[in-house]
Amino acid sequence: MLPKENRLKKKKDFEKVFKKGKAFFVEFLILKIVKNDLRNPRFGFVVSQKVNKKAVVRNKVKRRLREIVRKKLPEIKTNIDGVFIAKKGIEKKDFIATEKTVDLLFRKAGLFNEKKHS
């Protein structure tokens, strides 16, 4: 589970990322990021009904994304807020394909600490 200090919870935090965030796209996933004044990165996840009507499927997608981000936390720069927005098609991808896509998004956005990830 993603630690509490790394979760975006409040509506105003999500709105800030949506309004001011810079977006990065890869096939079935969008990452919007904005700087924050905190010591740790925080992430939120949006999986709409457009992806799948069944809540079970949408929650599975969110759990997968959370776990991938949790594993990558030590390599991610601090002071960042990010929101992952899932697109149709992500529900058909397996864990490894999703993980590679998240990696690619983090690289595109320049979120990896250079010294740990080259």
Tell whether the model's pLDDT for residue 116 goes beyond 60: no
- How confident is the model over 91-102, as a mean pLDDT? 96
pTM here is 0.93
Whole-number percent of the chain with pLDDT over 90: 89
Count: domains in the chain: 1
**Residue 69 sits in which domain range?**
4-109
pLDDT for residue 92 = 96
Residue type, 95: F
- How confident is the model over 34-49, as a mean pLDDT? 94
| CATH value at residue 63 | 3.30.230.10
Whole-number Cα distances in Å, 77 to 10, 38, 92, 113, 114: 21, 11, 30, 5, 9
Instruction: Flag whether 52 is in a domain.
Output: yes
